[in-house]
């Protein structure tokens, strides 16, 4: 079974600085999808960014980018120019590509604090 | 925009009560999911459904059941609530088919069993 590991339960960053959240996963598949979700205090989960494993290029969404290292099974999230609104729980997630019906497997999350 | 609505934001129940958590989505999604979120444990899948009247067990189905009589509604049932079921429950949906399709989440129900 696939597993997702987030080794940093908590992180903090100064406003306007850059922070990187780590995620590793275990799979025997060669093709799959990876996601980062954000959960602010409102509890509403929001998709931050997603990456298809067959794509070489790292995904980017404005201030958010990933460092996808397929051989190392690593999928870290970099947040640039951190803002107070970035404070949240961040979850890394994995999905097999073989069926649209398969659920996501989530990591345990990293709580990010942003210091003004 | 897709809306996933969970009937209660906070719920307090007694041990032994039968508890229904309701989830409704308004975008004709095929797939619906129930996750449980606990500090330090992340999100764990309880049950999911990919069609009306279809259900699949997730990683922690014990003590729970589900019902999906209509496409838009997916109910999580605690037959006899216990204190170890105190948790945040998140419902989610997606269209299915496309495997990179994101999940749409409800705002969660914080259940306390006393």
Q: Six-digit token pair at B99?
A: 């495997």
A45, A100, A109 ranked by CB distance to B99: nearest: A100
Give yes or no for a contact between B34 and B23, defined as CB atoms under 8 angstroms apart. yes
Give yes or no for a contact between B58 and B74, defined as CB atoms under 8 angstroms apart. no
Among B37, B39, B42, most A C-beta atoms within 10 A, so best to mutate, is: B42
Average pLDDT of the segment spanning B17-39: 94
pLDDT, tens digit (0-9, with 9 covering 90-100), for A13-30: 999 999 999 999 999 888
Strand A10-14 and strand A110-115: pairing?
Answer: parallel
User: What whole-number distance in Å separates Cα of residue A73 and Cα of residue A71?
Assistant: 5
User: Is A35 within 8 Å of B102 when comparing Cβ atoms?
Assistant: yes
pLDDT, tens digit (0-9, with 9 covering 90-100), for B62-83: 999 999 999 999 999 999 999 9
Q: Determine contact: B47 vs chain A, CB below 8 A.
A: no
Residue B85: which pLDDT band, with cuts at 50, 70 and 90?
very high
Give the minimum alpha-carbon distance from A61 to chain B in angstroms, rounded to a whole number: 15
Q: Determine contact: B107 vs chain A, CB below 8 A.
A: yes
């Amino acid at each position: 079974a696939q597993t997702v590991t987030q080794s940093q339960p908590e992180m903090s960053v100064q406003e306007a600085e850059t922070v990187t959240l780590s995620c590793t996963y275990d799979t025997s598949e060669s093709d799959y999808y990876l996601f980062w979700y954000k959960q602010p205090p409102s509890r509403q989960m929001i998709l931050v960014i997603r990456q298809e494993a067959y794509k070489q290029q790292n995904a980017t969404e404005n201030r958010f980018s990933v460092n996808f290292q397929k051989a190392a099974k690593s999928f870290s999230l970099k947040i640039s120019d951190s803002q107070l609104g970035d404070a949240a729980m961040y979850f890394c997630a994995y999905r097999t590509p073989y069926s649209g019906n398969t659920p996501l497997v989530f990591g345990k999350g990293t709580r990010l604090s942003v210091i003004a | 925009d897709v809306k996933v609505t969970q009937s209660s934001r906070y719920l307090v129940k007694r041990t032994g009560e039968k508890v229904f958590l309701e989830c409704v989505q308004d975008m004709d999604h095929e797939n619906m999911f129930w996750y449980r979120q606990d500090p330090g444990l992340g999100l764990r899948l309880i049950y999911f459904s990919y069609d009306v009247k279809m259900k699949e067990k997730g990683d922690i189905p014990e003590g729970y059941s589900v019902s999906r009589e209509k496409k838009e509604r997916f109910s999580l049932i605690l037959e006899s609530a216990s204190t170890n079921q105190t948790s945040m429950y998140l419902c989610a949906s997606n269209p299915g088919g496309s495997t990179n399709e994101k999940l749409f989440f409800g705002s969660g129900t914080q259940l306390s069993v006393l």
